[in-house]
Structure 1
Amino acid sequence: MKKYAYIGCLGFIAVITTEFGVIGILPQVAEHYKISIDKAGYLLSAFALIIALTGPFMTLLTSGFDRKKIMLAAISLFLITGFVSSFSPPFWLLMLVRILPAFLQPVYIATALSVAVSQADDRKKNELMGIVFNGVAIAMVTTVPFATWIAGLWSWEYSFMIQTAVSLVALAVIYFLLPPMPVKEKKSYGNQIRILKQPPFILSTLTNFFMITAWFSTYSYFADYLNKAKGMDTSMVSYMLLLFGLIGVAANGVAGKMLNKNVAGTTAIFLSGTIVVPVLLYFSDGNLWATILVIGVWGFLYSPSFLNASTYMISSAPESLEFANSLATSFGNLGVTVGTTIGGWVIVTKGVEYIPWIGLVFGILAFLMMILKVISEKRNQVLSTCQN
């Protein structure tokens, strides 16, 4: 039912606004707290690290609870985060309230996706998942650039007020429009974790990790990169985030339909951006219009990355959708952590203009994992044929 997918999408907008809304204001946060940009980046990387470390376990622990209650609990934590953060608390407290909702973020995503496809046939599942994941692109088009623009107009605290408002709307919609959804049959932990022994799934997990690391080594410092390497001010950066997101909405729709036809091929096409975009950014140099064009390409190829990563992993373990999804979210966020950390280190030691090349290296590693997965699957087919 598309209604459930759109409700999940709205909650996803709140989740992404909170997680990635800080990207556009990191320079202001660093200045306010008198810290370096890489330390300010902890607001993103620490959030992602908690998700990476606890996601699968939290999803397994909550797998027997009513799905509506899980989604309400998760969005409530995101609302509290935005509210407390908007008062510019001490940096340690800002870090603490940033970390708390991260424990339930992968639970929300896995649950929302499960709810979206609960009444769908197999042919429609990827498309419905695409609707939910469109929350990422819509947030990039609306709430994230708007929060950045508001922060530039007044101060960074207002960015968190936007996050609070979005979470409140999502909470109300889930409460009033989503019916109670108790879990009728809880899968055993053993059946779910069995996928961790399957080589194709392990390689698809590594593909996810390297892919997200590649994208976020640069995207985490989007504002700082465009400001220092391309000479754009805060207002112009907010417009670039808007462009990035607008194109991303279309990209998610396209990717959802492409994934219905060919999961591996679609993933490879969009993954190619991790190699193409750094080269294009280099050649665009200081040319404003060329840079804007590259940002458009970047937005198109980057935006479906979480959808592609999740679908690619689930295709290797269709019998464990929620657990596979939580692992996709966890390893994706581990990629966010590693990408953000390495990107921050390169900025401090070499300069912000070098960070796109990190993406190219990790993009090549992701392609290598995809090739190894194909080899592994062919080997399994041969062994299966021989045994029969």
Structure 2
Amino acid sequence: MKKSFLTYIIALGIFGIINTELGVVGILPQITKNFQISVSQAGMLVSMFALIIALSGPFMTLLFSGVNRKKILAGVIAFFAISNLVSAFAPNYTVLLIFRILPAFLHPVYFSVAFAAAASSVPKEQSARAVARVFTGVTVGMVLGVPITSFVGDQFSLEAAFLFSAIINAITFIGIISWIPSMPVTEKLSYGKQLKVLVKPQLWLNIATACFILAALYSVYAYLAEYLGNVTNMNGKTISAMLILFGASGVFGNLQAAKLLSKNMIKTTIYYPLVMGVIYLLISYAGAYIIPMTIIIIVWGAVFTGGLIVSQTWLTSEASEAPEFANSLFVSFGNLGIALGTTTGGWFLSQLGIHQITYSGAVFLTLAFICIGLKIKLFDQKQDKIILVKKTTND
């Protein structure tokens, strides 16, 4: 069995989980109507899910750190299938909310184990590419999850929309059970050893970098549809096509970023905020023109998705002794970055107008670049000097 096939099974699970998290956005109007609740109450199905991920991620990952990885992947995806099945036939809003909240606790566990399992399934120099294949599930889930769920809900029913996610989860469960080999934890790290990585100041600079990059990405992307409608003057159908184009180029960009990280992680990370900054500059100058904006969207989608794996690789590189815990930190602080970015982007939009939305992204890119520079200057260069001194002494 090819290792790439195994990672794609895991990626399908990522797609199912992302679809469970974000797909509900496309059916919120039907939920408000079906359960006779307000829009703000329906919105809690999204906000509560994200909040629980951000708060519980590292702790839940620590709790399951000694369990066979195959059992974790299968168990979590089975729970998501059950929660979607119950959601499809929930008798009231309370039951629906409960079965949205419960799987959110396990969301970061699957992600953390998935990234670690993918990376460990191949030689170290190929780990970034293996993780990139898993990230494909994130990309496809983010771009296609909402429109597919919305389409199923509109064409069939609210129940069918939840059942769609349940079926994806069930297929993944069968794939994990049938084809993924047992992955026992050969050396269980104590909670203390895993938590010990948190005392490393360079890790916190990497965490801040990842958080700021995600904030930079989502402070603009969250309002892409509104920007295309109000600034580029695109209609609804064209905007939907642009979002799909954005996601399609993102799959390509994800894999290309992995290749660059495999060659030189530090250089790729340094250049990332600079390249993203150029794209935001182009948007601010050419965003009103349909053809230039279409070209920008293709490039933007590729660079945008590359930022996910750049952030993940940069953060986890400073905690290789506790990979699953490090990945849980990425999931938690990544969600924190998304929340920070969307909130700040919304403030820029309301105070300065949609034309200036790229400025919010530029602010976070600057902060990310500063954190990268500090990390390299204070720690990487210092480490290089220590190695040079040791080598000279030995000679």
TM-score of the superposition, structure 2-length normalised? 0.84
1:212 paired to 2:214 = yes
Does 1:35 pair with 2:39? Answer: yes
Residue in 2 aligned with 1:241? 243
**What is the identity, as a one-letter code, of the residue corresponding to 1:123?**
E
Distance 2:196 2:308 in 1: 23
Structure scoring higher RCO (CA < 8 A, sep ≥ 6) equals: 1
| Whole-Å separation in 1 of the counterparts to 2:7 and 2:274 | 28
Partners of 1:273 and 1:165 lie apart in 2 by 39
For residue 138 of structure 1, report the CA deviation from its aligned partner: 3.1
**Which residue of the partner structure matches residue 379 of structure 1?**
382
The reply on whether 1:134 has 2:136 as its aligned counterpart is yes
Match of 2:255 in 1: 253
After superposition, give the CA deviation of every residue in 1:115-162 in whole Å (9 maximum; x if it has no partner): 223342222222211221121223345444433555676787765444
> d(CA) in 2 for partners of 1:222 and 1:19?
20
Shift of residue 251, structure 1, vs aligned partner: 0.8
Report the counterpart of residue 290 of structure 1 in structure 2: 292
- Counterparts in 2 of 1:219 and 1:285: CA distance versus 1, 3 Å: closer
Point out the structure with max Rg over C-alpha: 2
Report the CA distance between 1:10 and its aligned residue. 1.4
Moved more, 291-300 or 223-232: 223-232
CA contact (8 A) 1:9 1:131 kept: yes
Query: What is the match of residue 315 of structure 1?
Result: 317
- Structure 1 unaligned regions, length at least 5: none
Moved more, 322-331 or 376-385: 376-385
The residue that corresponds to 2:165 in the other structure is 163
Contact 1:78 1:101 in 2 (8 A): yes
RMSD: 3.2
**Structure 2 CA distance for partners of 1:72 and 1:88, relative to 1, 3 Å:** same
Distance 2:372 2:5 in 1: 34
CA distance, structure 1, for counterparts of residue 45 and residue 337 of structure 2: 15
Could you tell me which residue of structure 2 aligns to residue 329 of structure 1?
331
Q: Distance in 2 between matches of 1:88 and 1:340?
A: 30
In structure 1, what is the Cα distance between the partners aligned to 2:174 and 2:304?
30
Q: Name the CA distance, whole Å, in 2 between partners of 1:380 and 1:277.
A: 34
Is the 1:85–1:94 contact (alpha carbons within 8 Å) kept by the matching residues of 2? yes
Cα deviation 1:157-193 (Å, max 9, x = unaligned)? 7654443332222222122222333323211122222
Which shifted more, 350-359 or 262-271? 350-359
Partner of 1:180: 182
Distance 1:230 1:46, change over 3 A: farther
State the Cα distance separating 1:57 from its structure 2 match.
0.9
CA shift for structure 1 position 272: 3.3
* Counterpart-to-counterpart distance in 2, 1:229 and 1:81: 40
Please tell me the residue identity of whatever aligns with 2:382.
Answer: R
276 and 29 in structure 1: CA distance in 2 versus 1, 3 angstrom threshold: farther
1:56 corresponds to which residue?
58
Q: Which moved more, 1:365-374 or 1:283-292?
A: 283-292
Once residues 349 and 31 of structure 2 are traced to their aligned partners in structure 1, the CA distance between those partners, rounded to angstroms, is 17
Q: Distance in 1 between matches of 2:224 and 2:15?
A: 19
Q: Per-residue deviation at 1:324?
A: 1.1
SS of aligned partner of 2:321:
helix
> In 2 relative to 1, CA 373–147 (structure 1 residues): closer, same or farther, beyond 3 Å?
same
Q: Tell me, yes or no, if the aligned pair for 2:18 and 2:145 is still in contact at 8 Å.
A: no
Count of matched residue positions in the alignment of Structure 1 and Structure 2: 386
Greater displacement, 218-227 / 263-272: 218-227
Whether the 8 Å contact between 2:273 and 2:366 is mirrored in structure 1 is no
Structure 2 counterpart SS, 1:64: coil
Distance 2:233 2:164 in 1: 27
Alignment match of 2:202 (pick from 200, 203, 206): 200
Structure 2 vs 1, CA of residues 174 and 235 (structure 1 numbering), >3 Å: closer, same or farther?
A: farther
Q: CA offset at residue 208 of structure 1?
A: 0.4
1:301 CA drift (Å): 0.9
Structure 1 residues 115 and 158: CA distance shift in structure 2, 3 A: same
Structure 1 residues 254, 385: closer, same or farther in 2, change over 3 A? Answer: closer
Conserved 8 A contact 2:116-2:327? no
Matched residue, 2:120? 118
Measure, in 2, the Cα distance between the counterparts of 1:153 and 1:277: 37
Give, in whole Å, the separation in 2 of the partners of 1:20 and 1:205. Answer: 24
CA deviations on 1:200-244 (whole Å, 9 max, x unpaired) are 211011000111111112323444444445444443333222211
Counterpart for residue 279 of structure 1: 281
Please give the per-residue CA displacement for 1:348-379, whole angstroms capped at 9, x wherever unaligned.
56655543322121111111110110111123
